[in-house]
Structure 1
């Protein structure tokens, strides 16, 4: 792994109770950042904080419902009170797709998917950007998906939200790059997490089928996706603006 230096910086990571978010939070803290670990599941967010503390890092947990603007604002306000400002954000919270075709998808399932995975990114940037500007600039990474670049039957709410994240990311990138904020998105393939494990229901056959969709022949470890997030946040990606970076083992090129 590349060694990054985020010493003295402050970051917030949503969906950090496990999976990609937990891995990103731990990697940021290991690189010197003070990290706010945000998730709807406060118990697991606090577990992430314990892991970071065990690694010698500095982190604090906060409960957030990214589908509610006021909750996201409270998360950012907490970050600024706790650590004095905000430099970086990883808007990562998400849920599993619907598992239903368009005509069969209940309205409430559609609306919840869009609320969490698209509006949640909008609310994140809406409240994070002023705090980052107050520090003189920084960077944001939004989690889209390989499904943000292609279609996927039976997951219309997930695919629409993840496509929307890319459009929102590119628009925000253009709006704020001249003010010193670089904004990009990652498009992960399937990565190991509690959410993915629940989706596969512990079935080795299901995992093999999902792995076979990726030319690399396996699903990702969460740390592999986190490494891409840290690169995009870091100065090593100083000329990368509005990108939708596939980190998918070749999934979207097949």
Structure 2
């Protein structure tokens, strides 16, 4: 196998793995030899994903995890250590969107919910992933931000606020732990055809949303996950503190 895509024996923990990027990334890492601990608030969904992966012969553990709860994030990492002895890869993917609305109509409860899942959930995951990686002397973390974390996002102020915070956490951790050989990066997708988008946008709205990109379409999950694999690759050893836009050219404007 090409060393760039060889994850043989690597132990990865992935949140938000019942669907979307998390599910597809788990499947792709398993194909390439990784051992997995996957979680989601949707316990039934993540157990189903684990069954599919296990049927291929890969090692996988699935569990329910509410990433807004510190103790549940700790348990996920502890489970990986107990089962496999280490954590090589941490993917903090779990996240939520909110209904489009103007900033002046966005109340505190929406901001609190965004912060709890999209920011605290990333920090809690990183906290315990990094603790284990420090004992190992290496590791790679990938946080899922958004194009809304790089620039403004009209009618999505609370989401944009939270995804900007993910960028701040990513860059800060990269600076703090680079000397410990722990790489921390973030990926920033444009609208992609995951359930987070397709559940609220019909075909007509998806077409309109896609017109905002120079490529005149929305992203496909496999296109985002291909970049995630590159960013996590064991052969990619000098890339840290980066927030990579995968956006059909939006950031070129």
Q: Which residue of 2 aligns with 1:192?
A: 193
1:19, distance to aligned residue in structure 2 (A):
0.6
Q: Which residue of 2 aligns with 1:249?
A: 248
CA contact (8 A) 2:3 2:235 kept: no
1:41 aligns with 2:42: yes
1:2, distance to aligned residue in structure 2 (A):
8.9
Instruction: Tell me the C-alpha RMSD between the 2 structures.
Output: 1.5
1:118 aligns with 2:119: yes
1:216 aligns with 2:215: yes
**Equivalent position SS for 2:109:** helix
Report the Cα distance in structure 2 between the residues aligned to 1:105 and 1:237, rounded to whole angstroms.
Answer: 40
Number of equivalences = 252
Report the Cα distance in structure 1 between the residues aligned to 2:195 and 2:137, rounded to whole angstroms.
Answer: 36
1:134, distance to aligned residue in structure 2 (A):
2.2
1:154, distance to aligned residue in structure 2 (A):
1.2
Report the Cα distance in structure 2 between the residues aligned to 1:234 and 1:45, rounded to whole angstroms.
Answer: 24
1:3, distance to aligned residue in structure 2 (A):
6.0
Report the Cα distance in structure 2 between the residues aligned to 1:128 and 1:224, rounded to whole angstroms.
Answer: 26
Cα deviations by residue, 1:200-226 (Å, 9 ceiling, x for unpaired): 1xx210110111112112222212111
Q: Which residue of 1 aligns with 2:179?
A: 178
1:54, distance to aligned residue in structure 2 (A):
3.4
1:17, distance to aligned residue in structure 2 (A):
0.7
Report the Cα distance in structure 2 between the residues aligned to 1:34 and 1:129, rounded to whole angstroms.
Answer: 18
Report the Cα distance in structure 2 between the residues aligned to 1:211 and 1:76, rounded to whole angstroms.
Answer: 37
CA contact (8 A) 2:15 2:94 kept: yes
Per mean C-alpha deviation after superposition, the further-off stretch among 91-100 and 119-128 is 91-100
CA contact (8 A) 1:76 1:127 kept: yes
1:56 aligns with 2:25: no
Report the Cα distance in structure 1 between the residues aligned to 2:220 and 2:37, rounded to whole angstroms.
Answer: 22
CA contact (8 A) 2:4 2:236 kept: no
Report the Cα distance in structure 2 between the residues aligned to 1:115 and 1:98, rounded to whole angstroms.
Answer: 17
Per mean C-alpha deviation after superposition, the further-off stretch among 208-217 and 50-59 is 50-59
Per mean C-alpha deviation after superposition, the further-off stretch among 213-222 and 124-133 is 213-222
**Equivalent position SS for 1:154:** coil
Report the Cα distance in structure 2 between the residues aligned to 1:249 and 1:43, rounded to whole angstroms.
Answer: 33
1:233 aligns with 2:232: yes
1:72 aligns with 2:79: no
Q: Which residue of 2 aligns with 1:169?
A: 170
| TM-score, structure 2 as length reference | 0.95
| TM-score, structure 1 as length reference | 0.95
Where do 5+ consecutive residues of structure 2 fail to align? none
**Equivalent position SS for 1:199:** coil
